[in-house]
Amino acid sequence: MKDGIVLSIQDILEKEFKIDTRGYRLQEVDKFLDIIIKDYNEYNNIIKSLEKEKKALLEENHELKQEVRDLKSSIEAVKHGEKEITNVDLLRRISQLEKIILGKEQ
Q: Per-residue confidence of the chain (106 residues) as pLDDT tens digits?
A: 456 777 888 888 888 877 777 777 788 888 888 888 888 889 999 999 999 999 999 999 999 999 899 888 888 877 776 665 667 777 888 888 887 887 765 5
Task: Please tell me whether residue 8 adopts helix, strand or coil conformation.
Answer: coil
CA distance 74 to 61: 20
Helices of type H across the chain: 9-14, 26-105
Q: What is the pLDDT of residue 29?
A: 84
CA distance 99 to 105: 10
Q: What is the pLDDT of residue 102?
A: 79
Q: Find out whether 26 and 18 touch, Cβ atoms under 8 Å.
A: no
Q: Is the pTM of this model over 0.85?
A: no
Q: What is the pLDDT of residue 84?
A: 59
CA distance 64 to 85: 30
Q: What is the pLDDT of residue 1?
A: 42
